Amino acid sequence: MGGSSVGRGPEAMESDGTPEPSVTHASLHHALIEDVIERGFAPDSGELADRLDASVDEVEQGLRSLQEYHGVVLHPGSSRVWVVHPFSMAPTNFLVRAG
C-alpha cells in the first residue's frame, strides 16, 4: 500500500503515561482520505489494520465509532466505507474537474 504509515506505534503515550491507541478518529480518517486521494478508493478493514498496526476488530469498531461521529458512512450491515467526507465511493450527480 502506498503512502506514509499513520499508525502511532507502541512508543506513543497519552499524557497520563498510558499507551495512545493507534486507531483514533483522526488516524482512521487520515488513512482513508490519503488512500482515496492516492488510489481513488477507500481501503478495506484489513488494509487499515495493517497500516495502523491494529486488529481488524479494532479498526471495525473505530469505523463504527467514526460513523456515529459523522466522519464516514458505512455500507449498511458492513464495515465497508461508502462515504468518507468529503468523498463518496459511489457515483453521484456531481462533476468535479481539475485544471
Q: What does the alpha-carbon distance between residue 48 and residue 53 come to, in Å, rounded to a whole number?
A: 8
pLDDT per residue over 18-47, tens digit each? 666 789 999 999 999 999 999 989 999 999
CA dihedral sign of residues 84, 39, 23, 27: negative
Range(s) of the domain holding residue 51: 1-99
Residue 39's CATH number? 1.10.10.10
pLDDT per residue over 36-87, tens digit each? 999 989 999 999 999 999 999 999 999 999 999 999 999 999 999 999 988 8
Number of domains in the chain: 1
Put simply, whether the predicted model's pTM sits higher than 0.85 gets the answer no
Residue 4 has pLDDT above 70, yes or no: no
User: Are 31 and 52 contacting, i.e. CB atoms less than 8 angstroms apart?
Assistant: yes
Question: Could you tell me the CA-to-CA distances from 3 to 7, 38, 54 in Å, in that order?
Answer: 12, 8, 17
Q: What does the alpha-carbon distance between residue 27 and residue 6 come to, in Å, rounded to a whole number?
A: 6
Q: Which residue type sits at 63?
A: L
Q: Coil, strand, or helix at residue 65?
A: helix
